[in-house]
Structure 1
Amino acid sequence: MAAHASGQPGWRRHAWLVPAALVAVLIGLLCWGAWVYGYDPAWFTGSRAWWLPALETNQDWTMLAAMALLAASLSAYWWPRRRQQLPIGLISVVVMVLTAATLGLASYIPCRGRVSTTGVVFWILQLYVGQPPNIYQSVQPETAKALACGGAPPLALQLGQIAGLGATLIGAIAFGAVLWRQPLGRLQSRFARDATIVTGLSSLTIPLLKQLTETARSPRAIIVIEPEEDHALLEEARLTGARVVIGDPSSTHLLRPIICTWRGCALNHLYALRDNVQDNERIIDAATGILRRYQAVPDRHPHLVALIDDPRHADHWRGTHSGTSSVWFEDALSSAEATARGVVSRVLRAQPRHLLVCGDSTLTVAILLELARRAWEQAELVKAAAIGRAADPATPPPSDEPSLLPLDRIALLDLRAPDIKREYLASAPKATLESLPAVVAHPVRWHDLLLKTLDAMDPAQARQTAVIITESPPGSGVHEAGRVARLHPETPVFVLALAGAGMDGAIFDLLHPFEHGLLDEGEVPEDTWTRVARHWHECYRLSHPLPAGHPQSPARLPWPELDPFLKQDNILELRSILSAVAACGRQWAPVHLVPPGSVIELSEGDLDGIAIAEHTRWQQRRLAAGRPGEFVVPWAELPDHMRDGIRSHLVSQLAQLEDVGFVPIVPAGGPPGAARYERVGLVRASQLSEPLAWTTHAGEQMHGFAGDWHVVDDKGNMRTVSDPDFQASHEPAGDGRWRRIGVYRAWQVEQAVVIRTKEGKATAQQGDWVVEAPTGERWPVRNEQFGWSYRPTPGQPRRPEPPDQAIAPAATSSSTAPTISS
């Protein structure tokens, strides 16, 4: 059982018996030789046995063999048990003390003469302080009987002296290690070459810590920082083999020598896993404060991960902390999200066509979001594979040809099912929602309807149906799940169980209990940014296939088979793009938190700058690694088609980031040059009873909807405005006229940008203005029109003079000159 629990084959745990038996035989032989030699020093010369020379007092090889076998037996005993944190120092001391005592007794008893037993014991004790009595040399043979113990000490005594002094030294070192454990742990941490820091010990985080130590290059590369010296799980953390440092994990004084050693930045991951989110944020802030002083390391990308158990909070935190640095990544870890990944993977392996999700908990929405993400990823891979086949029909299809998820129908069974569906629709990005079949909500008690629903299916349909029960508190749905699994043994049933009751497989029929955790099917979960980088790579290799034997074919391998250098390069590419976008004055944000009609797309100049920055990083890293190539040249030396391809690929990468929920926005309030302006003027307006299509002065097609307002100013410019926005920005002036009111922020653009307004995409040309409403909505206004429809508020700087440029021609689809202004 012990061998199985430790994950080691039984023979490894018992291999120490072989060298231990050999060293026992050798020590026994040495003791026997010392005993005979003590009574008859001429014994060696009088015997002709072939093995006797091995016991002579001047034989170094016998001593070395005995010490080597002793060290081998101790090492073989400790190695398969090293993660159990056995007191190997104490075990070594005990073995060496007993060895020294045995060898000393066998050597001294023949020489005791009239010395008391206490005297002999004193002789033995002197072995442990390195000052053994010179019994053999001090005896002067005067008679035949006095010849006993004459001559050089036997090998047994020589080995006993080494074992005794060694036991004392090892004991002193072990005692000092315990006494100075904390300072020693901190000192060792300073020399870590590749450190992963973990803070926060709990029943939820210990499995993650164990997996980190098992998959790390060395368990000692994992450093646990715990402020409580008497924490109940501290010893269990030590049993994993990780280094444990006692101290405040948010202290820069403690973190700095661990993160940045004398070799440079050593941090790989930092997991802030304390129960309190504010504590985790303080730890992350302390780490970023240290990393901010250093430039980006080409081959290192520290990941700073904060435990935020609420998936809603985790999603928001992740979005607002992305792309903040070119040195590190920040990510949030949620047990609901990690559990959802594992459950969805197990469910999809069953290839169901129908899915019934029962219960109301944060895990329910997390599972729906994960399903949508998986469906989108597979759809993108299928699309990429189709592009690759069209580009090169002669190249055989990949062995891992992607396919769409088999799901045709997803149903929610719970009294709160409509609200669960609403939250799911409000949380998932539009692209992922469109990839998953529509979710049907049934506001019923799932305990009453689940079995009836399955009973009403024909056997073939029931076999193609899977059930997920996420009822909270954990374990409350196990009873009903067991009944469903027993009555429908061919239907997979996955149920949230109590902690410790989860299993990798089915316990009977197809009942699969699972539990909350931070692991993804027993593995360290893939962080958000590695997942994005992996998907980018898979889409690129499928859309750009190469024939077998091509020099570039190693770069087209699937992610698990990819060279670590190339795998890391994909992650660094993502970091480069995120930070380059942020350097353009943008802020990454979750899509569902962005106000409608407020997104300003990156300009052509921004895209060129980001593409150049990423290519320069890519080129410099390859040159530093000694990997030159045809296109490993500065941006200016690339052929036009390569520059166009890099830029086009960047656009697709940004689109995929937005599809999974991350969009770069101009921060609320606009760039630093934005100011407050008061709206002036009168307009005529009428409410639409049907949709209206119209065009901007640049010819862009826009759309108004029934209930919106059709607004025309005194210059004949028109637009449509939604009813809530119109009511907030206009007041009646009589005779069908409305006065424009309100103070809005605005700024002039230096290069053309596209704004995604509520009515459609509209372009602000160079010199035009972008206006931001208090709700966050934005729209472009021509420079000429801005001059008479807005005026600076008191205390604001005057509007800059208009640039000397031609005004774009007015649209010709109307008798007036339409624009986006209200």
Structure 2
Amino acid sequence: MHTGVRDWAVRIAAVIAAVMLGYLVALALAPQLREHAPAPLQWFGEPGSVPTIALVVAVLVLLGVLLVRTQGVRRPGAPVAIVAGLALISTALGLASYWDCHDDEHPRFFRPLMFTAYVVKGGTGDQSLGGQTCPSPTPVALEIARLSALAAIFLSVVGVAAALFKSRSDRLRVHLARSVTAVVDVDDDTLSMVSAIARTMDSRSTLVLITTSLDHPCVPEARNHGARVIAVDFDLPETLRALSVWRKLDRLYLLSPDPSSNLLRLKVIADRLDEVSRKQRLPLIVRIDDPWQAEAWRAMHFGGSDTRWAADAVGKYEVTARRLLDRIISTDGVGRILICGTSPLTLALCSNMAQRQLERNYYAAADAKPLPRLVLVAANAAEYEQDFALSRRRLGLSARSMRVEAVTETASVPLLASLLADDHVDGTAVVFVDRDSATASSVDTTTGTRLAARFPTTPIYAWDATARVTEDRLSLVGKLRTYRLSMDLPDGQAQDAWERAARLIHDRYAAEAGHRSAASRPWAELDEFYRGSNRRQVRNALWMVEQIGGHTWNAWNATAEDADTPNLRGLPPLDQLRLLGFERDKAIAMARAEHEDWCRYYRAAGWRYGPQRDDARKIHDKLVDWARIEADPDLLKAALASLAATLSKLRELGYRSRPARNKQGWKYFRRIGDVVAEQRDSSWTWTTGSGETMRAEAGDWAVRDIDGGDWWSVRDDIFRATYQHIEGDRWQRHGIVTARPAEDGETVATLEGPARAAAGDWVVQGEQGEQWVVPSEQFTRRYDGPLTESPVGVGFSSQH
């Protein structure tokens, strides 16, 4: 249920509850009112009326549930507001019920108040006055008052018990969770990210904070955001490795301020995931505050042999730079930004602006203004300008994509005043970066204030270590605002590059489509199913390009040739893909993998095939097997065009793949021979020749050679695509694979878990990029080749 709908539901339920309770109060004070009600409603409020009690209780329970869901309260125990509300209801109904219980010896107000206090503290017995039960008959209001009081007491006890056993409760909730978003380590800087993560993660996922101490000051606030907290000893990696959350992991954040600790913990977690999970391209965010270290790590880990992660880095300088530039561009609308002083924030501001320029070149709204240009003002500004240009080249980006200017003088008031007096500039903003006492180029801390006094209409942003992070900072002098370094991300902003890429790709598609369908609505209004489809498309591109296309996303130290984007406009899809570095066989294999992954996503959401697309009924005319796509020239061309469009869009956004240097030595082989196979209904394990235990899921096929030997597993969709049924339990291998000699001792990430290769073994790769290890004597029986040339028009097929 959407937030707006829940808010209206709360209001409606609250009004109904208030009307019903108000009516019961009135009946308790004047029972004769019920006789004046419409005949069909006279049963409501009748003494001893069970339907009345059941209806009121149901409405109150519904209101409580809606309040909890609307407020996002996930912590154990009942919210204080609900307990207080129940106590207030009990008091009002009890006081009204006992209002006439007084005589000459018992004062009018205080005797009903004492009787009411007895009810509120949980009493359920009748009261007597002058030897007579009072009130008589017992009004329904009093019965509900007693139930409300008991509910308040019960919820209070549950809340206290939950508070005492939070740790056990959290572990139980994590154990029962279907999927987990894990945050490893948190401090004051990153606590705000926990809130952002809680707002943006999948509603079906459970947020888990893994920390070293439950007494950490950040823990209560994290729990307020719905996090389940688990304590481990980071000095003992085995305690981190032993957690059960890794089987259900969907997203991982490593937020220690020490990047080395984050990478060590990543290795522990990755090793464990190799044993318990098959998932690929899990979103990973690693905190690396230094912007250049973050940029280098991000570039190297976008690709590579580890396909477990869709990795990105985040740091306080990069986040602060994004927040500052968001404010300057959206609010101040200037044409130039003077960055005064040098620090890591200087580099982060330059890098963020360069990325914005790439994204602006890809897609910008019709009314979007050009981005402001950057001017570095510091004694060593020229060094920073040269270093920035170098970083662009190392990422394979053209230095012309975004240039910065350098003024190699200390940012003094007279110098800045002369720059601001330039009549040719369409508005200027000034940013004073954080002060580094070890740097000679540090700027006098009073410069911002003095400059603001001279130029009251110029937006000036000055670093202040004590400033609070808020969207609206009040200025005391002119338009001077202070800021501090923090990890606070503006609401609704993506926390990783691939999420931003998915959003930008959708924004351009939606603008071109004119927002005419449910799939082309603006991102903020888009259904989560279509958002997930955009994310799936981008993440699947990561996997396909590396595992099928033989490329890497590692852009670090790319050459100038890698930076150039070929002109693909008007070319046939296969020619476009060839210019992007993918020959026909790889292109078709990638298109097939993308189509099959798209089909799996849609079918899992309940979509089915139909000749006419109907989004409301979840019918799509392209939900067909790949064989039908490949047999229809128009459908095949459309599939290849979609693949080329995705890869070219990523390239425009700065995410460039290039041929992997370590892909040499792969050759084509034809799969031969018969096997015995059976599909198993439950998960099971098997052992490789080198002794590793592999894990197969329910529905996988158990396969062995026709002449006997050990069993191995094949995933159902791969099995059906690469084995042809003969009779009974006999099947025949068919299709093409690529293979290379293994390196002695290398570890290969297979679908079933990590496998270690020995000298003489072969590493085989299937059509969907999956790899496995085959001993030498088995390889010669199962594969024929190598083929003298690559099979044209045939996507190479998979497995064992």
Aligned to 1:447: 412
Identity across the alignment (%)? 21
Residue aligned with 1:441, SS:
strand
Which of these residues, 337, 351, 356, is aligned with residue 369 of structure 1? 351
Letter of the structure 2 residue corresponding to residue 637 of structure 1: A
Q: Does 1:532 align with 2:501?
A: yes
The offset of 1:404, in angstroms, is: 8.0
Aligned to 2:620: 628
Cα contact 1:220–1:241 (8 A) shared by 2: no
Mapped partners of 1:200, 1:175: distance in 2: 27
Cα contact 2:396–2:555 (8 A) shared by 1: no
Aligned to 1:472: 435
Which of these residues, 389, 394, 397, is aligned with residue 425 of structure 1? 389
Q: Does 1:225 align with 2:207?
A: no
Aligned to 1:307: 287
Aligned to 1:274: 256
Q: Does 1:572 align with 2:536?
A: yes
Moved more, 230-239 or 217-226: 217-226
Aligned CA distance change for structure 1 residues 471 and 168 (closer, same or farther; 3 Å): closer
Moved more, 489-498 or 308-317: 489-498
Cα contact 1:326–1:575 (8 A) shared by 2: no
Cα contact 1:13–1:80 (8 A) shared by 2: no
Mapped partners of 2:334, 2:34: distance in 1: 82
Cα contact 1:195–1:222 (8 A) shared by 2: yes
Residue aligned with 1:412, SS:
strand
Q: Does 1:330 align with 2:294?
A: no
Q: Does 1:496 align with 2:463?
A: yes
The offset of 1:380, in angstroms, is: 4.0
The offset of 1:420, in angstroms, is: 0.9
Aligned to 1:483: 450
Cα contact 2:212–2:231 (8 A) shared by 1: yes
Cα contact 2:588–2:640 (8 A) shared by 1: no
Over residues 70-106 of structure 1, what are the superposed CA-to-partner deviations in whole Å (9 max), with x where a residue is unaligned? 7689789978877698534753675588679869988
Residue aligned with 1:446, SS:
coil
Aligned CA distance change for structure 1 residues 153 and 653 (closer, same or farther; 3 Å): closer
Cα contact 1:128–1:167 (8 A) shared by 2: no
Letter of the structure 2 residue corresponding to residue 347 of structure 1: I
The offset of 1:524, in angstroms, is: 4.0
Aligned ranges for residues 748-767 of structure 1 at < 5 Å? none
Mapped partners of 1:32, 1:558: distance in 2: 56
Aligned to 1:346: 327
Structure 1 alignment gaps of length 5 or more: 1-7, 34-43, 140-144, 383-399, 674-748, 752-801, 806-822
The offset of 1:661, in angstroms, is: 6.4
Aligned to 1:723: none
Q: Does 1:58 align with 2:23?
A: no
Letter of the structure 2 residue corresponding to residue 375 of structure 1: Q
Mapped partners of 2:70, 2:603: distance in 1: 42
Residue aligned with 1:500, SS:
coil
Aligned CA distance change for structure 1 residues 470 and 411 (closer, same or farther; 3 Å): same
Aligned CA distance change for structure 1 residues 586 and 495 (closer, same or farther; 3 Å): farther
Aligned ranges for residues 541-620 of structure 1 at < 5 Å? 564-583=528-547, 588=552, 590-593=554-557, 604=583, 605-620=585-600
**How many residue pairs were aligned?**
614
Q: Does 1:91 align with 2:90?
A: no
The offset of 1:528, in angstroms, is: 0.9
Over residues 724-778 of structure 1, what are the superposed CA-to-partner deviations in whole Å (9 max), with x where a residue is unaligned? xxxxxxxxxxxxxxxxxxxxxxxxx999xxxxxxxxxxxxxxxxxxxxxxxxxxx
Over residues 451-479 of structure 1, what are the superposed CA-to-partner deviations in whole Å (9 max), with x where a residue is unaligned? 24325522xx2443333322425996663
Moved more, 351-360 or 56-65: 56-65
Aligned CA distance change for structure 1 residues 129 and 302 (closer, same or farther; 3 Å): same
Cα contact 2:241–2:272 (8 A) shared by 1: no
Q: Does 1:652 align with 2:642?
A: no
Cα contact 2:397–2:560 (8 A) shared by 1: no
The offset of 1:445, in angstroms, is: 0.7
CA RMSD between the two structures: 5.5
Structure 2 alignment gaps of length 5 or more: 1-5, 564-578, 609-618, 668-737, 741-785, 790-800
Mapped partners of 2:788, 2:120: distance in 1: 99
Residue aligned with 1:591, SS:
coil
Q: TM-score, normalized by length of structure 2? A: 0.61
Cα contact 2:184–2:256 (8 A) shared by 1: yes
Letter of the structure 2 residue corresponding to residue 371 of structure 1: M
Cα contact 2:501–2:650 (8 A) shared by 1: no
Over residues 782-808 of structure 1, what are the superposed CA-to-partner deviations in whole Å (9 max), with x where a residue is unaligned? xxxxxxxxxxxxxxxxxxxx9999xxx
Aligned CA distance change for structure 1 residues 514 and 289 (closer, same or farther; 3 Å): same
Mapped partners of 1:14, 1:48: distance in 2: 24
The offset of 1:606, in angstroms, is: 4.2
Aligned to 1:637: 631
Moved more, 425-434 or 199-208: 425-434
Aligned CA distance change for structure 1 residues 432 and 506 (closer, same or farther; 3 Å): farther
Aligned to 1:816: none
Over residues 230-256 of structure 1, what are the superposed CA-to-partner deviations in whole Å (9 max), with x where a residue is unaligned? 111222223334444445687787986
The offset of 1:589, in angstroms, is: 5.9
Aligned to 1:210: 195
Mapped partners of 1:156, 1:641: distance in 2: 72
Mapped partners of 2:640, 2:62: distance in 1: 63
Aligned CA distance change for structure 1 residues 563 and 632 (closer, same or farther; 3 Å): farther
Letter of the structure 1 residue corresponding to residue 408 of structure 2: P
Mapped partners of 1:169, 1:68: distance in 2: 17
Cα contact 1:342–1:520 (8 A) shared by 2: yes
Mapped partners of 2:138, 2:218: distance in 1: 51
Aligned CA distance change for structure 1 residues 147 and 122 (closer, same or farther; 3 Å): closer
Mapped partners of 2:119, 2:561: distance in 1: 88
Mapped partners of 2:134, 2:474: distance in 1: 72
Mapped partners of 2:542, 2:44: distance in 1: 71
Query: Which structure has the bigger radius of gyration?
Result: 1
Cα contact 1:320–1:588 (8 A) shared by 2: no
Letter of the structure 2 residue corresponding to residue 628 of structure 1: H
Aligned to 1:666: 661
Cα contact 1:213–1:219 (8 A) shared by 2: no
Q: TM-score, normalized by length of structure 1? A: 0.60
Letter of the structure 1 residue corresponding to residue 621 of structure 2: G
Mapped partners of 1:598, 1:159: distance in 2: 74
Mapped partners of 2:306, 2:666: distance in 1: 20
Aligned ranges for residues 28-47 of structure 1 at < 5 Å? 30=28
